[in-house]
Amino acid sequence: MIVQNLDRPTKDQPRLPGDLIIWVFIVGELTTFAVLFLVYAFARARNVALFNESQLTLDLTSGAINTVLLITGSWLVVKAVHAVKDDQARKGAYWLMSGMACGFAFLGVKWLEYGDKSAAGLDISTNTFYTFYFSLTFFHFMHVIVGLVFLGVVLPKTWRREYGKNNHNTLESSAAYWHMVDLLWIVLFPLIYVMR
């Protein structure tokens, strides 16, 4: 007797994790951020000296810590999804909470960074670089919050073991969005904090 595991993707049976609608949403978000990244990059090309000088005031360490937090948050959510697929939903809920803790820590570090800039008299109207810095990073900041909301929605159901080996589409959709937030930061960090 041949037993087929329907959940396991095979070479002949590719599978898009989560719901199709979340991927349409993700493509929209990636397109929006692509436009913003490129507008920043080409604006910088027209005024390299101003952008380089202003960039020196950014805290590279905060940016790197936030990168580590998002990467680790993504990794923990991957472990949550794997645990649920292995019918260990309660374990998955703990991983999910750990991933969310990384997201909240990211928001905390970013908030402190904004506080430092504000104390130094820097804001969105200081110059073109800061207009981009505050707009891009705050737009991303809002996406981290949306990602946390998505994870927060699936957390109680994961805790109550409503997701499992044969029912984890919504969890995968939330996880995909969360990883997208990480992917965006992977481009944003070198672009705004490091490229000179």
Partner 1 sequence: MYSTMNSTANRVWVILIIATATTYWVGESGMTNNNGTRAVWAMFGLAFVKGFLIIYDYMELRHAPTKWKLGIISWLVFVISLILFAYWLGQRHN
- Binding range to partner 1, per CB under 8 A, among 14-22, 100-108, 119-127, 131-139: 14-22
CB of 186 to partner 1, least distance (A): 5
- Residue 167 three-state SS: strand
Comparing CB distances to partner 1, the nearer of 48 and 123 is 48
59-65 own/partner pairs: CB under 8 Å, 24+ apart:
59/113, 59/116, 60/193, 60/194, 62/109, 62/110, 62/112, 62/113, 63/189, 63/192, 63/193, 63/194, 64/189, 65/109
Size of residue set near partner 1 by CB under 8 A: 53
Alpha-carbon distance 165 to 148, whole Å? 23
Which position among 45, 119, 121, 125 is part of the footprint of partner 1 (CB under 8 A)?
Answer: 45
Q: Which residues bind partner 1 (CB under 8 A)?
A: 8-9, 14-17, 23, 26-27, 30-31, 34, 37-38, 41-42, 44-46, 48-49, 60-61, 64, 67-68, 71-72, 74-75, 77-79, 81-83, 85-86, 172, 176, 179-180, 182-183, 186-187, 189-191, 193-196
